[in-house]
Amino acid sequence: MMTSDPKLIKNIYIKHYKNFSDPKSILMTPDNHVIYRHIINNSRGETWRRQSAVIRSLFADSRLKLFAKKITENLINLTDSLDKMIDNNNNDKAIDISQVFINHSIDLMANCMFSLKQNTINSVDNKFSQIIKQSTMPSKWRILASLVLPKFLVNVLDMSTIISRKYLDQFVRLTVQELSKRISLPINTGNDDDNDFCQLLMNRCPDFISNKTLDNNTNNNNNNNNKTSESQISDLSQTLTNDELIANIYTLFDSAYGIDYILKILIIYELAINTECQQKCYDEIIANCFPDNNKPMTGQNNIKFDYKTVDKLNYLDACISEIMRLYAQIYREGRIARHDYTDETTGVTIKKGQVIQFSRSAVHRNSDYYPMPDQFRPERFVGKQNKHQLIESAVYLPFGLGRRMCPGYKFTLMTIKLTMAQLLVNYRFLPIPGLTKLRSADPIVEHYSYYPGQLYLKIEKR
């Protein structure tokens, strides 16, 4: 059963969630790979509660500030790379911005996850970026197989996951390699990588901490380090196993990188074709981030925006919200009824065992809640109260609702705002008639989620 009734969705997500269990993901069948077996998205009951407590703690405000520093480091490479493209583009030709954003998102997550200073944006074919692209991009042949072939044949052909086992294994090897590098290091070195996602998750993994303790003992390292690790273990009521550590490194990387570049492409596209909105965003950034209207000079692209300042950019926030309304990223998710359920508000009955899916795009494009629903109108979201009301009444749900709501939403919003502030203050993005359009990477892949292909634009330095 599929619904787009906000009242029913809200009751299932929040008030009556106990009547439902979370269905297994169609994309990531748990039995098929160690990552899918231990990933939070597939976990239930006590295991989910334990993993959720660990993962949600990564996104506390104090941590986000530290991640903002990492994100701004990577933005310098982004503007350097765009500058080079514009300088080499003597004939004023169209520039495809999609590859730039894909590579920038890989570098950004490499830094936030492992403190790796990749430069994919300037040297595209490095091994790391290949592994990330292969292990996160669904294969259209696998999707096609799951849609048209009988289940037994899909299993025989080992095509029951939309990403090949071989590529997932590569991601596991890469992660294990990064974890092993850290085993021999003392805890809390004061280095940059004390505060990346990988280290923060490792600190919640007793198997790893005891390895470290062992390692520190054998190396006769200073006793304080050992004390820290032992007390850390006993303090931890919320912990991860080794397999969960690796699986959740994958899910965080995949969620953040995968959606980050898509959102950037969509925002730049809409701002390019809605030039007055782009100008409004620019004016707001200048007014809020440059005291006394002290505009940066052309080419001064090493400006560093901070977490607090970009949080004040209300019009930019409204544009981002409007993009997430128009282009709902995760089309469907749902729940399974544990027993027969009749909804008190809508009268709808869901039978025991029945799956009920929520169509996010149908809610987001309903003219009862959004007049002219197919148009880009950021004004709908101007004013915190407006947005709050839309979320409250469950007609705006890009990140889901209730206890399984996306834990990474603040991180995403912060990343996008920092990136957009940096881009809009340095460049003007202009449409090229007949050429600037959103192309889907592939209509089959799009069956699951929207993956943009190229986006051609004219880019001018401000």
Provide the binding-site residues for ligand HEM, judged by CB under 6 A. 22, 40-41, 52, 55, 251-252, 255-256, 259, 263, 329-330, 333, 398-400, 404, 406-408, 411-412
Please choose, from the candidates 294, 315, 397, 303, the residue with its C-alpha nearest in 3D space to the C-alpha of residue 13: 397
- The answer to whether the Cα torsion of 416, 331, 102, 127 is positive or negative is positive
Half-sphere exposure in the Cβ direction for 308 (13 Å, CA): 1
C-beta of residue 14 within 8 angstroms of C-beta of residue 394? no
Q: Are strands 349-350 and 341-342 parallel, antiparallel or unpaired?
A: antiparallel
Please choose, from the candidates 443, 461, 462, 439, the residue with its C-alpha nearest in 3D space to the C-alpha of residue 452: 439
If the CB atoms of residues 408 and 431 are measured against ligand HEM, the closer one turns out to be: 408
Kindly state the smallest distance separating residue 201's Cβ from ligand HEM, in Å. 11
If the CB atoms of residues 226 and 321 are measured against ligand HEM, the closer one turns out to be: 321
Nearest to ligand HEM by Cβ — which residue? 408
If the CB atoms of residues 256 and 420 are measured against ligand HEM, the closer one turns out to be: 256
Kindly state the smallest distance separating residue 418's Cβ from ligand HEM, in Å. 13
Kindly state the smallest distance separating residue 28's Cβ from ligand HEM, in Å. 11
If the CB atoms of residues 333 and 442 are measured against ligand HEM, the closer one turns out to be: 333
d(CA 459, CA 313): 23
If the CB atoms of residues 320 and 459 are measured against ligand HEM, the closer one turns out to be: 320
Kindly state the smallest distance separating residue 257's Cβ from ligand HEM, in Å. 8
Q: What angle do CA 450, 453, 457 make, to 5 degrees?
A: 120
Structure tokens at 66: 């530290």
Count the neighbouring beta carbons within 10 Å of the beta carbon of residue 58. Answer: 18
d(CA 59, CA 250): 17
Kindly state the smallest distance separating residue 180's Cβ from ligand HEM, in Å. 23
Kindly state the smallest distance separating residue 256's Cβ from ligand HEM, in Å. 4
Kindly state the smallest distance separating residue 450's Cβ from ligand HEM, in Å. 11
Count the neighbouring beta carbons within 10 Å of the beta carbon of residue 372. Answer: 9
If the CB atoms of residues 216 and 321 are measured against ligand HEM, the closer one turns out to be: 321
If the CB atoms of residues 267 and 277 are measured against ligand HEM, the closer one turns out to be: 267
d(CA 284, CA 278): 10
